[in-house]
Every structure is written in C-alpha cells, then in structure tokens.
Amino acid sequence: MEERLQKILAQAGVCSRRAAEELIRQGRVKVDGTIVTEMGVKIDPNRHRITVNGRPIQGSEKKITVLLNKPKGFVTTMSDPQGRPIVSSLIKDIDERLFPVGRLDLDTEGALLMTNDGELAQKLLHPKFEVNKTYQVTILGHIEPQKIQALEQGIDLDGRQTWPAKISVREKSEKTTSLHIIIHEGRKRQVRRMFEAVGHPVIHLKRLAYGNLRLGNLSPGKYRFLSPKDLASLFR
Ligand code: URA
C-alpha cells in the first residue's frame, strides 16, 4: 500500500515524522537509488527500496525475482553442511538476499526462480495456483504407450496419486528416450520417481520452463530479471 514517505520512515522507527521531513529535505533519503527531496511523495515500501544515509530501512527492500538456469551440482538451499555449491552463490550483482522458490535436485538443471519476495514464493508453492513446470527427461529404455498413459493419468507415489501430467516423446536413441513432461505438483524427486515407478530410470533431467517462463538461451549459471508482467503471467 502506498504511504507518504515521511510516514513510512516514522513507522519503520527511523525517527519522528517531522524529523523524517528534515531528512528528506536534506537529501538523505533515497528511493530505489534516487534522492527524493520532494515532500509528500507516496510510495509502496514493499515494492521499493528506501534508504536513509545509504542504509535500507526496516521492511523496505525492493522485491526482486530472477529466473536462474541452475547448473547440475548446485543445491537449492541457503547453506549446505556438506559444503556443496549453493545456488545463491550464483547471484552476483544483487545486494538483496534471494532464496530459491521450491527446489531442484542436486543433479537436476534448469529453470529456478530466486526471489526475496516471501509472499510471492508462498503463493507459487501453493498447489491452488497449479503453476505448470515443464521438464525435459531422458530415461533408460523405450517406454510403452500404456505406461505413458498411466503416468499421465496419475500413479501412486507414497500412497497418493499424482495429479494428471502431460507427456510427449521427443526423441529415441538405441538405449534411451527423451521426453517432455508437464506437471504442476512439486513433490520430492517427483519426475525421477514417476519414471522409476514404471521401470525407466531417469538419466538426465532439466526444467525447461516454470509456468510460461522458458529458459530460452540462458546459459547454465546465468539468470534474468523478471518483470511484473512475467510474474503476473504465472498466475493466469
Ligand atoms: N522432479 C525431480 O525428480 N527432480 C527435480 O529436481 C524436479 C522435479
């Protein structure tokens, strides 16, 4: 919600409203890096980064979300007791601490959202929003159409049916098959376990898209900033 800047500073415990007006007048307050000296400017502290003397005020950080192409061998946690590389170490030029939305296995690569917007992350992880995730899977062997149908309709994993999935076969080699699968759940190692359950271990897994946000030509380890329009498209 938008509030007057001096009120936001006072509510964040920086100083009184009157003292805040003085700070603004003195050019010591910045919004998204730009000094604001005009009085009475209204902004949403949840959407913009407000600093006083260069330091962000409490609760005011610009919400940033990026789409990262997670490389294999990185863990989607904020720290790792085993000392393995963590995805947040790939975010280099952003001051805010971004955390992963959901997870990808150590051996899985591809589209991973990283954000500092807790509300957004919670929404995206809620099954109600059913954001589709598209994976490219390479499995051992050639899978029978009946098994594809079973996976599409839902199979039992941990005593619970998986939600309907969409699968298309893309390529076959002598010993392997490459497919695309779209699911909207995010159970632990779900895609790997689904194919294992029908006798076809996964040998390569990559998430190509999160909703309609596709990796495109983003190289492993690189990311791109998402616009409000990109984010809105996830909830359509
Ligand atoms: N399914 C898996 O098996 N692994 C992932 O990382 C994501 C989906």
CA of 18 to the centre of ligand 1 (A): 54
Question: Is the domain of 193 the same as that of 182?
Answer: yes
Which residues are identified as catalytic? 105
Question: Is the domain of 195 the same as that of 219?
Answer: no
Distance CA 148, CA 139 (A): 12
Q: Are 112 and 68 in contact (CB under 8 A)?
A: yes
Domain count, the chain: 3
Residue 41: give its domain's CATH number: 3.10.290.10
Question: Is the domain of 166 the same as that of 222?
Answer: no
The verdict on the CB of residue 181 being under 6 Å from ligand 1 is: no
Residue 171 φ then ψ, to 5°: -160, 145
Q: What is the pTM of this model?
A: 0.80
Q: What is the domain range of residue 105?
A: 65-127+213-233
Question: Is the domain of 119 the same as that of 97?
Answer: yes
Question: Is the domain of 206 the same as that of 223?
Answer: no
Question: Is the domain of 39 the same as that of 153?
Answer: no
CA of 208 to the centre of ligand 1 (A): 12
Ligand 1, atom nearest to 105 Cα: 6
pLDDT at 36: 93
pLDDT at residue 192 tops 80: yes
Question: Is the domain of 217 the same as that of 199?
Answer: no
Distance CA 215, CA 173 (A): 25
With a pLDDT cut of 70, the percent of the chain lying above it is 100
Which residue is closest in CA terms to ligand 1's atom 4?
189
Q: What is the pLDDT of residues 5-62, one digit of tens each?
A: 999 999 888 889 999 999 999 999 999 889 999 998 998 887 788 899 988 887 777 7
Tell me whether strands 202-210 and 109-115 are parallel, antiparallel or unpaired: parallel
